A and B are shown apart, each in its own frame.
Chain A
Amino acid sequence: MHLSRRHFLNMLAAAGGSSLVYNASLAMDFMSKDAKLTSLNLPPANDKNKSIVILGAGIAGLATAYELEKAGYNCTIIEASHRAGGRNLTLRHGDLVDELGNPSICNFDDNHELYMNCGPARLPGHHQRILHYCKALKVPLRIFANSNRLAYLHDSKNFGGKPVRIGEHMADGRGFVAELAHKSLTTGQLDAGLTEEDIAKFKQFIAAFGDLKESGLYEGTERAGSTVDRMLFHAKPKAPKSLTELINSPLFSRLQFMSEAYDWGEPLMTPEGGMDKIVDGFMGALKSPVILNAQVKSIYQGDNEVEVSYVKDGKVVKHKANYCFNNIPAHFMSGIYNNLSENYRTALGALKRGKLFKIGFQMKERFWEDEGIYGGISYTDLPVTQIWYPSNDIFGEKGIMLGAYVWGNEQNEYFERMTPKQRLIVAAENGEKIHPGYAKYIETGVSIPWSRMNHMMGCGSRMSEDDHKKYFSLLQQPDGRHFMIGDQISYHPGWQEGALASAENALSIFSQQVGK
């Protein structure tokens, strides 16, 4: 099973497309507004509409409760799972891996550095909403290495199936492009509208871009490393790979640009000790009850209130509130009794489940550090797709590395259909191809297929283009006293920033409504 061309394109489209949308919204002024890192400061609650019920304790639900509580509302959060946080999940020693049909316990050693961020793992500097909450909740962050020139691109069908350092591919790619541009300028093909002086300056840029020789030729560069010790001898660059071989590799042509996406722009950040420190931060700050192990079964609105029922400890509990903020993944709504308007329900039904898959391995030695790799990601055309090296605990005794991070429906299903044990075996075999000896370092592992996880059943929900036009704006509005929230109600599903933007949008409509 290899990544198809279409899959690569989809991946890039997903990454590039959504960040374009986000870019546009930044340009419109969100960035300048959020850059101040102020909180939402909702107007104070009025007595008539004081009680709020929040369904689901995902990041959007928690932030909604936090903001409403500050404004004086009485909130209750009802959460189906045994824990708060939703997809913001960090696994450590002894934690439940709550896959439907395959529950298990995480066997990582009991050590605070040995954890796996199963959902979110990285935060870019322009996600000002989530960073605001990290600051407000005093969640310490540190820099997280996302791209690493010493990590690998591994193309099983090219370059003898051997992994190539990302920096080498980058240097060769730029070198060849620069050489071509230099030639075009010299032969006058690329000089439209440029003066002779412009051309000379442009040539300088091109030479610096690709590290060309004075001749304008690319003959390899020490940017990609050296074949001899660079401290004791003059650096001697490797000869560049053949251009035809390079462009035949999808890894070279596409995957090396992964971290060019706006949301993966360096430097990224991550909470010290695990992403769920943000959830801990919210839970510590909230005074409202968060009722766990309470699966919502029905949502009915009347004229002045919303009645929600849930099952807790073998009993049906009914809970009434003036308003409801619903953070439950939309695909569950067609299985929950409700009297939302027909249009709204159709719109919810148009949100489809997305799939993502991760594997975490506890490695008994940090063998990648011996290869000069400290953090970052290697990419491969094998099913595991990505291998992540931990940025924390450099030189530590052991480490948790991501043995797979898989996108695309077919690729996900390939792993979903296996037993958890089979998944780890395949991931170990894949890893061997990139790091010979890989498997013998593995002590234990867990797999997280998000579209099989209890009470989640998906990540990165999507709508067809047509449905999106028809329905999406409807879901960004309330249906009576019911507001839908979550990253699913944003243009950025699969990012906590999207979840928080949806909460912000709902809360601003809400405060206008109750303010009247």
Chain B
Amino acid sequence: MYRIIAISFMLLFVSFSNAQNMIATPSSVVPCTVCHGTQLMGNKSNEAPRLAELPAWYIERQINEFKAQGRGVHPDDHSGAEMLPSAMLLTPEALQEVFEFIAVVKPPQPEKTLHGDIERGKQLYMQCVACHGAAGEGVEILKAPPLAGQNDWYLLKQLQHFKSGVRGANSKDSSVQTMVFASKALSNETDMIDIISYISTLNNETGTN
């Protein structure tokens, strides 16, 4: 009981101090924050993920993937379709502003919404380490993004989408196919939730940039 109170005080404190560290949004990034939230923290209601931890190379690849209609066009990709027009409109200059903004923002850690078997997840995560790194930090040469620090609900949806062919099926990019292939190894949603619950424990170490 006392511990819970202590933790919630801490949360309150963290939140207040984060408000103090608020970075003004450059004008070209304002539309992104409408969906992706304050300081690009992610917004579950809008199904728009956290961008604050993503490296520039990965964001650029995804924007290009949207632009090439490799993502966001599958009839069942409702959230991807919502992102698509914003990617189409994005100029290289605006994208640069996004990168500069992401380099400085530090939103608080995402809230956990999934509560699977962390130990089991840790075992299952072995299959992902080679590409996403032991700490979920991502591996640029393999084009595999960081997973630590990402919203858990978003990771779950992406795994489901890779597995069902909603994401990646259209892509002409061979790196994307490696992930499509990796997703097939996960037999069900429990596997996915367990892995993601484990990935969420990595948040504090790599968390913010």
Contact = CB atoms under 8 A, between A and B. Distances in A.
Interface string B47-83: 0100000000000000000000000000000100110
Interface stretch (A245-253, A272-280, A451-459): A451-459
B118 interface: no
A208 interface: no
Interface string B18-61: 11001111110011011111110111111010000000000000
Contacts of B88: 101
A307 interface: yes
A457 B24 CA distance: 22
A452 B82 contact: yes
A300 B45 contact: no
Given A334-B43, A335-B42, A297 B22 contact: yes
B38 A337 contact: yes
Given A101-B84, A332-B43, A337-B108, A311 B35 contact: no
- Size class of the A contact interface (CB-based, 8 Å): 35 or more
B89 interface: yes
Contacts of B11: 339
B43 A309 contact: no
Contact of B81 (A334, A417, A457): A417
Nearest to B29: A311
15 contacts: A99-B85, A295-B34, A298-B38, A307-B19, A311-B24, A331-B45, A332-B46, A333-B45, A335-B35, A335-B43, A337-B18, A337-B38, A349-B44, A349-B45, A416-B81
A314 B85 contact: no
Nearest to B48: A335
B99 to A, nearest CB: 17
Contacts of A311: 24-25, 30
A262 B138 CA distance: 57
A419 B15 CA distance: 40
A353 B45 contact: yes
A316 interface: yes
A413 B78 CA distance: 8
B16 interface: yes
Given A295-B33, A413-B81, A101 B89 contact: yes
B34 A100 contact: yes
A352 interface: yes
A206 to B, nearest CB: 50
A102 interface: yes
Contact of B19 (A99, A295, A309): A309
A336 interface: yes
Contacts of B42: 335
A510 B120 CA distance: 50
Contacts of B27: 314
Given A297-B22, A311-B25, A353-B45, A100 B35 contact: yes
Nearest to B26: A314
B38 A334 contact: no
B45 A297 contact: no
Contacts of B206: none
The 9 closest A-B CB pairs, nearest first, are: A335-B37, A101-B85, A335-B43, A331-B45, A101-B86, A297-B38, A298-B19, A334-B45, A316-B22
A331 B81 contact: no
B104 interface: no
A233 B106 CA distance: 82
Contacts of A349: 44-45
Contact of A102 (B18, B33, B81, B89): B89
Contacts of B82: 416, 452
Contacts of A417: 81, 84
A454 B31 contact: yes
Interface centre among B31, B36, B45, B89 (most CB of A within 10 A): B45
B43 A100 contact: no
A315 interface: yes
Interface centre among A99, A298, A331, A335 (most CB of B within 10 A): A335
Given A100-B86, A334-B44, 10 more contacts: A80-B34, A100-B85, A101-B85, A101-B87, A295-B33, A297-B25, A331-B46, A334-B37, A337-B107, A417-B81
B12 interface: yes
A209 B19 CA distance: 67
A413 B81 CA distance: 9
A457 B34 contact: yes
A150 B4 CA distance: 67
A318 B26 CA distance: 17
Interface string A349-368: 10111000000000000000
B89 A454 contact: no
Nearest to A333: B45
B45 A332 contact: yes
A99 B82 CA distance: 11
B19 A337 contact: yes
A457 B38 contact: no
Contacts of A457: 34-35, 46
Interface in B96-114: 107-108
Contacts of B87: 101
Interface centre among B15, B43, B107 (most CB of A within 10 A): B43
Interface string A96-137: 000111100000000000000000000000000000000000
Given A300-B15, A316-B22, A331-B46, A295 B30 contact: yes
Contacts of B46: 331-332, 334-335, 353, 457
Contacts of A315: 24
Interface centre among B11, B24, B25, B87 (most CB of A within 10 A): B24
Nearest to A409: B78
A419 B35 CA distance: 19
A335 B45 contact: yes
A330 interface: yes
Contact of A300 (B19, B26, B108): B19
Interface string A276-306: 0000000000000000000101101000000
A99 B34 CA distance: 12
A455 B32 CA distance: 11
Nearest to B31: A100
A353 B86 CA distance: 19
B34 A455 contact: yes
Nearest to A317: B24
Contacts of A331: 43, 45-46
B24 A316 contact: yes
A454 B34 contact: yes
